[in-house]
Amino acid sequence: MARVTWGLATSHVPSIGAAMDNHKTGDEYWKPLFDGYGPAREWMAQHKPDVAVIVYNDHANAIDLDMVPSFAVGTAATYDVADEGWGRRPVPPVVGAPELSEHLVRELIDAEFDITTCHRLDVDHGLTVPLSVYCREPGDAWPCAVVPVLVNVIQYPQPTAARCYRLGKALGQAIRSFPQDLNVAVFGTGGMSHQLAGARAGLINERFDRMFLEAIEHDPESLAALSREDYIREAGTEGIELIMWLVMRGAMSDKIARVHDTYHVPASNTAAALALFEDLGER
């Protein structure tokens, strides 16, 4: 059977990808952020999954605002890297895991989550930057297959945090019921506090972020109990991306151990963080 082996929560800021693509990770601005990733990257390189289920949001690149599914799953054999207006990132195409995807879609629909199925999908920075955070130099191919799981966080009304946490629980069960012997990592992406436009543009809330970084391990229920308005007030209009971390946490068992975390301000307009957890539940 498949198992969830670890969970990675990470910001997905496009300029973090651009810093890697343009070999600027040693610059004064970027070095502290990338130094913070170091121990997590070493650990992940020693615990390579067969598949990464990456919970992310599209930013009106593959899915325009005419039709916005609350939850969607990619089922393709490969996903092209999206051109977000300045050319595609120079990273390999993303190889899918269609059998696992089809299984997850069926199991989630049977669990009463009405999933939209994406048979074709260009993946934007929300997915490719976390992949680069995991694997700095993929060469010609990423080291694992990927199942994209999309959450609408950009158009009101976003799904509630409680719904995302429950989706994660159903996702974890669905992964564990897949008959192939696979190691699966689950990524929750986005955050932490940030707001890109409007009167509060530039908002950072370190107090909220640090509370969230702690509670995602020990008390995810308290985070699931917050309303979308709580997220937007405390973490900013884009900080609500944090609800995707709850999908990752829900997919993991109750027995997890923190491997590493890091918190850094600023990365572009965000408070950037990474938190890596090993799942001890099935040993």
Instruction: Point out the residues that are catalytic.
Output: 125, 194
Q: Is residue 276 helix, strand or coil?
A: strand
Q: Is 251 in the site for ligand DHB (CB under 6 A)?
A: no
Residue 94 beta carbon to ligand DHB: minimum distance, rounded to whole angstroms: 18
Q: Which stretch binds ligand DHB (CB under 6 A): 28-36, 131-139, 199-207, 268-276?
A: 268-276
- How many other CB atoms sit within 10 Å of the CB of residue 244? 30
Residue 93 beta carbon to ligand DHB: minimum distance, rounded to whole angstroms: 21
Taking residues 4 to 33 in sequence order and writing x for each that binds ligand DHB by CB under 6 A, - otherwise, the string is: --------xxxx------------------
Helix, strand counts (H, E) of the chain = 9, 10
| Phi, psi angles (nearest 5°) of residue 227 | -85, 165
Single out the residue of 58, 122, 238, 279 in contact with ligand DHB (rule: CB under 6 A): 238
**Among residues 7 and 191, whose Cβ is nearest to ligand DHB?**
191
Single out the residue of 59, 166, 260, 264 in contact with ligand DHB (rule: CB under 6 A): 59
Q: Give the CB-nearest residue to ligand DHB.
A: 268
Question: What's the distance, Cα to Cα, between the start and end of the chain in Å?
Answer: 13
Residue 239 beta carbon to ligand DHB: minimum distance, rounded to whole angstroms: 9
Q: Is 279 in the site for ligand DHB (CB under 6 A)?
A: no
Residue 72 beta carbon to ligand DHB: minimum distance, rounded to whole angstroms: 17
In total, the chain counts a number of residues equal to 283
- DSSP state letter for 77: S
Q: At what angle do helices 161-176 and 243-251 cross, to 10 degrees?
A: 30
Is residue 248 within 8 A of residue 168, CB to CB? The reply is yes
Contact set for ligand DHB, span 169-198 (CB under 6 A): 190, 194, 196
234 closest CA partner among 278, 265, 196, 203 = 203
Q: Is 270 in the site for ligand DHB (CB under 6 A)?
A: yes
16 closest CA partner among 92, 122, 124, 130 = 130
**Among residues 14 and 69, whose Cβ is nearest to ligand DHB?**
14
**Among residues 59 and 103, whose Cβ is nearest to ligand DHB?**
59
**Among residues 21 and 278, whose Cβ is nearest to ligand DHB?**
21
Give the count of residues interacting with ligand DHB (CB under 6 A): 12
**Among residues 30 and 178, whose Cβ is nearest to ligand DHB?**
30
DSSP line for 122-185: -B-HHHHHHHHHH-S--TTS-SSEEEEEEE--SSSSPPPHHHHHHHHHHHHHHHHT-SS--EEE
Q: Which residues bind ligand DHB (CB under 6 A)?
A: 12-15, 59, 190, 194, 196, 238, 268-270
